[in-house]
Amino acid sequence: MQSVIDYLFGSAASMPHGVCLLWQTDLLALHAISDVLSFVSYASIPMALLVFVRRRPELEHRWAITLFAAFILFCGLSHLMAAFTVWFPFYGLQGLVKAATAAISVLTAFAIWPLVPKLLLIPSPAALQKVNAELGSVNSNLKTEIAEHRETLRELNEMRRELELRVEERTRALGVANRELERMNVDLSTFVHVASHDLKEPLRGIRHYAEIIADDHGEQLPQSAKDDLSSIARLADRMVGLINSLREYTRAGEAEALIEDVDINDVLHAAMDNLRSLLSETGTTVEVVGTLPRARCVRAHVLTVLQNLISNAAHHSKGRAAKVTVEAHITVDGVTLKVADNGPGIPENIRDDVFKLFRRAANEQGEDSSNKEGLAGMGLAIVKRIVERNNGSVKLGSSPDGGAQFDLLMRPA
C-alpha cells in the first residue's frame, strides 16, 4: 500500500521539479502560472463544448465533440499536474495522467480522419442560406400557384353554378313549352272532333236536298241537271270522307297507346274483317308469308296500319284482283312488317309524296277516284304518322311482281 502511494505521490527520495529550476522564483512563476492558466482554459473549453452539445441534440457526430471535450480536458489536467510537480514530486500520478491524455489523444487522432469527409458534407451556413433563399422563392412561387388554382377553382364553381341555373331555367322553359304543346294538341283534337261534326251536318243537308230535288222533281228536269244533282251529292260525300280521314289522322297521333302482347295474325284478321266489303267488291286476296308472330306493340296502331295498306292496295289495283302479301318479324330493332301487292306499283319519283296529306297519284285526279271511305290520299299519311309515333320508319319500294312494297319498322315505347 505504502509503495503504491510512494509511486503515485513520490517517495522521500524523489525531488520536486523546482529543484531542476534551482528554485529561481521567476522560472517557478513562469512555469506554474503558465500551466495553471492553461489548465483553467483547457477546463473551460470542454465545458463550452458540452453546453453546445446539450443544446443541439439534433446535431450529427455529437460523440466527436464530446471526445474533443475529453481530449482538451485531459490536456488541461496534464498542465495541472506539471504545475503540481514544481513543488511536489507526484511523478507517478503525472505519468498516469499523461498516459490517459496520450490514450485519449490517440483515440481522437484516429477518430478525426474518417470524420473529415463526413464533416465536409455538412453544408456551410452560407450554402444553407443560399438554399434557404432558393426554397423561399420556390415557396413563394408555389404560394402564387396555389392562389391561382384557388381562383380558377372559384371561377369553375361559379361557372358550374351558372350552368346549373341555366339548365334549371331551360328545363323550366321546356316544361312550359311542353305543357303548352300538350294543350295545343288537346285543342287541335277537340277542334278536329267539333269541326268534323259541325262540317258534316251541312254537308249531309246539301246531299239530302240534292237528292230530294232529284227525287221529287226529277221528271221535270233535263238529264244534265239530274247529273249535276248527283254530282252535288257525290261531292258532299267526298267532303265527308275527307273530314273523316282528317279526324282519323288526328286520332292516329293522340295519346292513348297501350302497349301489350299482340297476336299480329289476330290483328290481320280483324283488319280484313273491317275491310270485308271492299275486299269482296274488288276481289282482293290477302296472303300471309310464313307465320305472323306475337309482338309487344299497340294493337290499334298495327290494325290501322294493316287496314290502310291493304285498302290502299285494293284501291289501286286498276280493276284487277289485287293480291296482298303480309309478312311480320320480331328483330332486335323492333317489329317489322312487310306488306306487298301485285298492282301497278308506285313510280320512284313520287314515292316520297304518297305519304303526304290529301295526296293522290297524278293519274288518278278527278272526282271518280275518291273511294267510299274517303281515305284517298290519307291512308298512307296515317300509316306514316302511326309509324313515327312508334319511333319507327316506313320505306316504299317495289315488290318482286312489280307492285308496291311497304317495309315498316315499329319500336313502340
Partner 1 sequence: MLEGIHELPADSLVLIEDSDADARVVVRAIEKNNLDVALTHFGDVERASEFLNAHKEPDTRRIVLLDLNLPGSGGLDLLKRIKSSETLKHTPVVVWTTSDQPSDVSDAYANGANGFIVKPMGLSDATQCIADICHYWFERSVLPK
CA atoms of 384 and 252, how far apart (whole Å): 10
Q: How far is the CB of 201 from partner 1 (least distance, A)?
A: 5
Specify whether the CB–CB gap between 243 and 191 falls below 8 A: no
**CB closer to partner 1, 248 vs 327:** 248
Choice between 164 and 367, CB closer to partner 1: 367
- How would you classify the pairing of strands 323-330 and 285-288? parallel
Nearer to partner 1, 192 or 271 (CB): 192
Residues 6+ apart with CB under 8 A from 369: 360, 376
Q: Give the residue with the Cβ less far from partner 1, 18 or 374.
A: 374
Helix axes 223-252, 125-217, angle to 10 degrees: 150
Q: How many angstroms separate the most distant Cα atoms in the chain?
A: 190
Are the CB atoms for 378 and 313 separated by under 8 Å?
Answer: no
- Minimum gap (Å) between residue 273 Cβ and partner 1: 19
Measured from the CB atom, the residue of 56 and 193 that comes closer to partner 1 is: 193
CB 309, CB 278: distance < 8 Å: no
* Rounded-to-integer distance, Cα 169 and Cα 160, Å: 14
24 vs 231 by CB, closer to partner 1: 231
Minimum distance between the CB of residue 236 and partner 1, rounded to whole angstroms?
8
Q: CA-to-CA distance for 373 and 279, rounded, in angstroms?
A: 13
Shortest separation between residue 217's beta carbon and partner 1, angstroms: 13
Q: How far is the CB of 380 from partner 1 (least distance, A)?
A: 24
CB of 318 to partner 1, least distance (A): 28
Name the site residues for partner 1 (rule: CB under 8 A): 193, 197-198, 200-202, 204-209, 211-212, 215, 233, 237, 240
One-letter-per-residue 3-state SS of 321-351: CCEEEEEEEECCCCEEEEEEECCCCCCHHHC
